[in-house]
Amino acid sequence: MISAKKKENGILFTLSTNNSSYQMKADKHNVLLHLFYGQRLNDADDLSDLIFLTDTGFSGNPTYAEKDRTYSLDTLPQEVSGFGVGDYRDSMVTLLHDDGSRAAEFRYDSYEIIDGSYKIDGMPALYDTSVTKGETLVITMREAASDIILKLYYGVYEKENVITRAAKLINQGTKSVHVEKLLSMNMDMMFFDPDMIYFTGRHAFERAYERIPVKHAKIEIGSVRGTSSHQYNPSFILCDHDANEEQGDCYGFCLVYSGNFVAAAQKDQKNQVRVQMGIHPEAFCYLLEQGGELMTPQVIMSYSHDGLTTLSHQYHDILRENMCRGKYKYERRPVLINNWEATYFDFNEEKLFNIAKQASELGIEMLVLDDGWFGKRDDDYSGLGDWFVNEEKLGGSLKEIGERVNEMGMKFGLWFEPEMISQDSDLYRKHPEWAIAIPNREPNRGRYQLALDMSRDDVRDYLFEQMSDILSNAPIIYVKWDLNRSICDMYSYASGKEHSGELYHKYVLGVYDLMERLLVRFPDLLLEGCSGGGGRFDAGMLYYSPQIWCSDNTDAINRLTIQYGTSFFYPIGTFGAHVSACPNHQTGRTTPFATRSDVAMSGSFGYELDLSKISDEEKAQVKHQIAQFHDLYELTHEGDYYRLTTLDYDDCIAWAFVAKDKSRAALTLVKTQSEGNPRPTHVGMRGLDKNKKYKCTIKNDTSVINSGAAFVNAGVTIPYIMEQYESAIIMFDEV
């Protein structure tokens, strides 16, 4: 619900969801002030009196304040902070005007309330469905000394407890202006002393949970790698110091963007917390000519008074319903086997069909052919960009391969890395200008490859034609879309000097454009995002790919940390998770076959190993695991997820899925530590209906019936000694 009320000294805006309110005010000087974000207010509440103005030394006063030395842009809690006009904190907007000045002072002009969610041209955003529909407030701001318009977009999803933000600059003047910084949001939170939770890491160890208090030294995360990156995820949480899974004020911020980003929180001199998020300003400079527009990515905000679990549920629900799209948004995804860790580049027709034959016999539903099927591609030194089938290596066409796989009762999928090019490739020899590289400089290579200039129409047209030809002429229902390097040496032979600061952003827009074109052409295609695993695991990618390869690290114990961090914002069904060989190829660790499956069951399930090298006992387990995954699918992909332990819990990591109607639940735990003279393994359960009766079954041979209250309040004890890295799935069924 959105309300706008004319007051004696301004206009009061209140955005309300079922459990939260967001209030701001355009004051008598038309400065847009942030008043409150938190638990829901009453409809008549006006929190303007929370702002108490004092004369703060070295915080200047705008001319329109006249003799009021207490009124300063440097101390007011603002929705829009402009550079160079008296607010010395980090700005949301920086403009370089035609006369060489840098200033951005935006004042309130008007507003509009629109029924339905807003869209962003060329970028993903939450959309309306038959289940969930948003409402939009658009506030128009005018720059004080130029003809630049700033439109602020606020989307409200009432029952989902979600509010979104985005911004659009419009040049209505006759002179060009350079946009040096335009973030998606700025918010100054009064009287809040929070911790910041963010998710960091590296390739093969993404989204590690970190938590530190917000102080006067800025906490800033971000990426200038051309992608959202393995190193920082474009999401973070501000919460009370004592907030945990079940209690405390928690605020989430999730950027719907797959490129360079920044997110920051910092206390100012009055202990207000300035929160910002958007496109990273480094190497960003956008030329806005007469009539030109620039819109930012969307930030999805959500608030919970009841701790981190409720916050996660709100994100899981809205991303699953209002961000993911396509046939496989709801339809069950096939259990797959990927040949990569079984063969790497060393495969031929016989090896592939041996994998497919054994997989089919065990109940696996799709074979995915990974890197090495195209061009001259027997290693990672060559071939990228040459998207034609190497029929000599495959022993036939992709159509023939796919049809043979289909005859075995399996579907067929294929790996691509469209955005990349090898210098040793026919495409590079023909079009070296298509690669991102700076003239007269030796380029920096990643995995021996360069990036294609995705801002170019001709590059995207070439890729669309090549990929469409392959997908049209073979029975391919799945594409794994990979990206195996960070991007630097940013230069485009198709853009002039004045547009060089736009390239990182236009690269991302180009990727989105190509994905959209492919999905329009092939609407039933299941696209799995990947960037060396989890280097582009973000809400923007979920708009095109309802699952993303969570990490190249398939070690079950490392995956506990990776999947734990990922779960704070992203639905579990979007995690690409596979059972792989042991000793693990990334860590050398050996874990039980059942544990590898139980961990991968929390995601979109599959296998990545040589089935000919596993024992008959393990083959029998594969059949059981696939049946179990199907049995648990509605829980793992549509139920509510609960983190039952923290990563530093005593001796195990545990989590649970609970059906929306509370009729069924599955608790999974992995024993992470073992010691002599061991204590019993015990874990608390959450999410059950305390007034219902449940049958609790452990390993199908031990069961007990008790109330939900008993299991939630007292927990569950494993009735046997668990070994290190052993796992268990405990079922709860309503009786």
Q: Quick one: pLDDT at residue 8?
A: 86
- Distance, in Å, from the CA atom of 476 to the CA atom of 470, rounded to the nearest integer, reads 9
- Sorted by sequence, the CB contacts under 8 Å of residue 696 that are 6+ apart come out as 703, 704, 705, 706, 711, 716, 730, 731, 732
Q: Which two tokens stand for residue 88?
A: 């010395």
Indicate the average pLDDT of the chain: 96
**Closest CA relative to residue 430, chosen from 479, 375, 392:** 375
Mean per-residue pLDDT for 117-122?
Answer: 97
Each residue's pLDDT tens digit, 526-566: 999 999 999 999 999 999 999 999 999 999 999 999 999 99
Q: Which two tokens stand for residue 37?
A: 């974000």
User: Mapped to the 3 state alphabet, what secondary structure does 48-113 carry?
Assistant: HHHCCCCCCCCCCCCHHHCCCCCCCCCCCCECCCECCCCCCCCCCEEEECCCCCECCCEEEEEEEE
Instruction: Identify whether the C-beta of residue 601 lies closer than 8 Å to the C-beta of residue 563.
Output: no
Q: Quick one: pLDDT at residue 648?
A: 87
Query: Which residue spans of the chain are classified as CATH 2.70.98.60?
Result: 2-322
Instruction: Identify whether the C-beta of residue 522 lies closer than 8 Å to the C-beta of residue 514.
Output: no
Of the listed 206, 482, 513, 538, which one is catalytic? 538
- Distance, in Å, from the CA atom of 213 to the CA atom of 201, rounded to the nearest integer, reads 19
> How many alpha carbons fall within 13 Å on the CB side of residue 636?
26
Which band of pLDDT confidence, cut at 50, 70 and 90, is reported for residue 701?
A: confident
Q: Quick one: pLDDT at residue 544?
A: 98
Q: Which two tokens stand for residue 62?
A: 């705008």
Mean per-residue pLDDT for 653-664?
Answer: 98
- Distance, in Å, from the CA atom of 657 to the CA atom of 635, rounded to the nearest integer, reads 6
| pLDDT at residue 700 tops 80 | no
Which band of pLDDT confidence, cut at 50, 70 and 90, is reported for residue 702?
A: confident
Q: Which two tokens stand for residue 580?
A: 């792989």
Q: Which two tokens stand for residue 398?
A: 């992709």
**Closest CA relative to residue 238, chosen from 261, 262, 215:** 215
- Distance, in Å, from the CA atom of 491 to the CA atom of 78, rounded to the nearest integer, reads 36
| pLDDT at residue 435 tops 80 | yes
What is the residue whose two structure tokens read 């879309």?
A: 481
- Looking at the DSSP assignment, which residues form a beta bridge with residue 65? none
Each residue's pLDDT tens digit, 260-286: 999 999 999 999 999 999 999 999 999
Q: Quick one: pLDDT at residue 25?
A: 97
- Distance, in Å, from the CA atom of 351 to the CA atom of 409, rounded to the nearest integer, reads 18
- Distance, in Å, from the CA atom of 583 to the CA atom of 587, rounded to the nearest integer, reads 8
Instruction: Identify whether the C-beta of residue 323 lies closer than 8 Å to the C-beta of residue 256.
Output: yes
Each residue's pLDDT tens digit, 148-167: 999 999 999 999 999 999 99
Specify the DSSP class assigned to residue 260.
S
Query: Which residue spans of the chain are classified as CATH 2.60.40.1180?
Result: 652-734
Instruction: Identify whether the C-beta of residue 209 lies closer than 8 Å to the C-beta of residue 564.
Output: yes
Each residue's pLDDT tens digit, 630-645: 999 999 999 999 999 9
- Distance, in Å, from the CA atom of 185 to the CA atom of 80, rounded to the nearest integer, reads 8
Q: Which two tokens stand for residue 377?
A: 């591609």
Give yes or no: 321 in active site: no
- Distance, in Å, from the CA atom of 583 to the CA atom of 129, rounded to the nearest integer, reads 45
**Closest CA relative to residue 459, chosen from 516, 517, 418, 496:** 418
| pLDDT at residue 484 tops 80 | yes
Mean per-residue pLDDT for 10-20?
Answer: 97
Q: Quick one: pLDDT at residue 671?
A: 97
Which band of pLDDT confidence, cut at 50, 70 and 90, is reported for residue 256?
A: very high
As a CATH number, domain 652-734 is 2.60.40.1180
CA distances 76 to 57, 88, 91, 190, 265, Å, are 14, 11, 13, 10, 16
Instruction: Identify whether the C-beta of residue 330 lies closer than 8 Å to the C-beta of residue 547.
Output: no
CATH of 2-322 given 1.10.10.10, 2.60.40.10, 2.70.98.60, 1.10.10.1100: 2.70.98.60
Q: Where are the alpha helices (DSSP H) in 488-615?
A: 503-521, 539-542, 556-566, 593-600
Q: Is 52 exposed, middle or buried (0-12, 13-18, 19+ CB in 10 A)?
A: exposed
Which band of pLDDT confidence, cut at 50, 70 and 90, is reported for residue 727?
A: very high
Supply the DSSP string of 402-442, one letter for each residue: HHHHHHTT-EEEEEE-TTEE-SBSHHHHH-GGGB---TTSP
| pLDDT at residue 133 tops 90 | yes
Of the listed 321, 341, 618, 640, which one is catalytic? 618
DSSP E strands in 172-292: the ranges are 177-189, 195-202, 205-213, 219-223, 232-239, 250-256, 261-267, 273-279, 286-288
Instruction: Identify whether the C-beta of residue 207 lies closer than 8 Å to the C-beta of residue 566.
Output: yes
CA 685 to chain centre: 27
Q: Quick one: pLDDT at residue 457?
A: 98
Q: Which two tokens stand for residue 638?
A: 């549509």
Mean per-residue pLDDT for 174-189?
Answer: 97
- Distance, in Å, from the CA atom of 74 to the CA atom of 89, rounded to the nearest integer, reads 7
User: Mapped to the 3 state alphabet, what secondary structure does 358-388 carry?
Assistant: HHHHHCCCEEEECCCCECCCCCCCECCCCCC
| pLDDT at residue 407 tops 90 | yes
- Distance, in Å, from the CA atom of 45 to the CA atom of 599, rounded to the nearest integer, reads 48
Q: Quick one: pLDDT at residue 146?
A: 94
**Closest CA relative to residue 477, chosen from 326, 323, 607:** 326
Each residue's pLDDT tens digit, 659-699: 999 999 999 999 999 989 999 999 999 999 999 999 999 97
Give yes or no: 46 in active site: no
Mean per-residue pLDDT for 105-128?
Answer: 97
As a CATH number, domain 335-535 is 3.20.20.70
**Closest CA relative to residue 216, chosen from 269, 275, 263:** 269
Query: Which residue spans of the chain are classified as CATH 3.20.20.70?
Result: 335-535
**How far separated are the first and last CA of the chain, in Å rounded?**
40
Mean per-residue pLDDT for 228-241?
Answer: 98
Look at phi and psi of residue 156 and say left if phi exceeds 0, alpha if psi is from -120 to 50, else beta: beta
Each residue's pLDDT tens digit, 494-523: 998 899 999 999 999 999 999 999 999 999
